[in-house]
A and B are shown apart, each in its own frame.
Chain A
Amino acid sequence: MALLVRISVLLVLILSSASVAGQARDVYQFDSPEKVQRFQALSAELRCPKCQNQNIAGSNAPISKDMREEVHRMMSGGASDEEITNALVSRFGEFVRYKPEVDSRTILLWATPVLVVLIGLVIVALTVRRSGRAYTSGDALTDEERARAFRLLNDSDNRDHSSR
Chain B
Amino acid sequence: MKRVLMFLPMVLVIAVGVILFAGIGKDPSRLESALIGKPVPSFSLTDLRQPEQQLGPELFQGQVSLLNVWGTWCPACRDEHDDLLWLAREKGVRIVGLNYKDNREGALKWLSDLGDPYAINVYDPRGSLGFDLGVYGAPETYFIDAEGIVRYRHVGVINEKVWDAEFQPLMEQYGGSS
Contacts and interface: CB of A to CB of B under 8 A. Distances in A.
Are A and B co-members of a single complex? Answer: yes
Interface of A: 49-50, 52, 62-63, 66, 70, 89-95
Contacts of B32: 93
Contact of B34 (A63, A66, A70, A91): A91
Contacts of B101: 62
A62 B127 CA distance: 10
The interface size bin for chain B is: 10 to 19
Contacts of B34: 89-94
B177 to A, nearest CB: 30
Contact of B33 (A50, A70, A93): A93
A50 B29 CA distance: 7
Nearest to B130: A66
Interface in B110-135: 127, 131-135
B134 A49 contact: yes
Contacts, number: 33
Given A66-B127, A66-B131, A70-B131, A95 B31 contact: yes
Interface of B: 28-29, 31-35, 101, 127, 131-137
A70 B31 CA distance: 21
Contacts of B133: 91
A63 B137 contact: yes
A95 B30 CA distance: 11
